[in-house]
Amino acid sequence: MMMARHIFAAVIGALTMTAVSAGSYTSPPADDQFAPGCTLPFSAIQDHHTIDATCPNEGREKAGSQNVAANEEQNRTKNNFCQTGTPAEVTQLTFKSLQTKTDALSAPFTYGDHDHVPADRAPIRASGFYTTSNGDEVHEGTLVRTVAFLLHGAYSDTTVGESVNCYTPGSATNDIHLALVKSKPTASTDECQSFTAEITPHFRPADWLILSTLHKTKTKTTQQVIANADLARPLRITGQMMLDGSHRPCRNGSGSPERISVWEIHPIYAIDVCQHTTLSTCRIGTDTDWQSLADWVQSQ
């Protein structure tokens, strides 16, 4: 734990150099191009960033792009922080089943790359699209919650960016991709069995940036990095379920990126760290088993 405390202090100190002090921001400036449309679910710790001022909810397409309207609608979905209610409990099986349901949809529903993002998202937003074994309806726009282990966490698309973030390169302006798995990962864990959650750059809390560092380095495996941070324990992720039609799931051992489903928790609304280290002692609905990631980081 002492090693973890030093690691957290060093990493958070470095990552917050360019951020507004956590929790200091209360409402978006009137001239911001990004408008949340509601009180952010992490408003107590939100930070204001340059991308909030310059990149609107629908992102920005490149000149000559195809399927502009479909991509803008998908981007607005990725930036929806306003779902409320009791989260539906989802698992890896939910993500896999949603993919099966999606693949069974008839034409003209398409997905798989930037030019084939679904033009009509009504089928995946329909009530009754999928029902979990707990009786919870899940479709695009459902507020969901899962408990899982982190396989790795890292910034994505930092070289050129993506349309949702106005093709702005760099770490501060792009998503943090979390690959999640249903059991504690080992060196042989198949990433094609993982499912995805994304932390967007908009108003991203400084204390969440620690998750961007939990990946392989030149001298350590991902498992060693996560263990050194004392985060080889279940995480509880809450957010909106959505389909990212720009990607494909794993087929024959490969995907873009590797994962079991193109359904994601995106954007993330809340991240909690279990007080214990096993799934059996980390009950999804028992808040006393959990500590918010921000409080966890500050306590290390």
> Measured over all CA atoms, what is the biggest interatomic distance in the chain, rounded to whole angstroms?
56
pLDDT of residue 272: 98
pLDDT average, residue stretch 177-206: 97
Q: Which two tokens stand for residue 177?
A: 């991709």
User: Is 150 in a helix, a strand, or coil?
Assistant: strand
Give the contacts of 19 (CB within 8 A, at least 6 positions apart). Answer: 47, 49, 206
Task: Report in angstroms the alpha-carbon separations of 265 from 79, 195, 198, 241.
Answer: 11, 9, 6, 5
26 vs 134: CA distance, rounded Å: 37
Q: Report the percent of the chain where pLDDT is more than 70.
A: 91
- On whether the pTM is more than 0.85, the answer is yes
The chain-wide mean pLDDT, for the chain, equals: 92
Which candidate, 28, 24, 1, 84, places its Cα nearest to that of 202? 28
**For 33-77, how does the pLDDT look when each residue is reduced to its tens digit (9 = 90+)?**
999 999 999 999 999 999 999 999 999 999 989 899 999 999 999
Count other C-beta atoms under 10 Å from residue 284's C-beta: 19
Q: What is the pLDDT of residues 110-154, one digit of tens each?
A: 999 999 999 999 999 999 999 999 999 999 999 999 999 999 999
Phi, psi of 236 (to 5 degrees): -110, 120
pLDDT value, residue 28: 67
* Total domains, the chain: 1
Q: Given this model, what pLDDT does residue 20 score?
A: 35
**Domain region containing 287:** 2-299
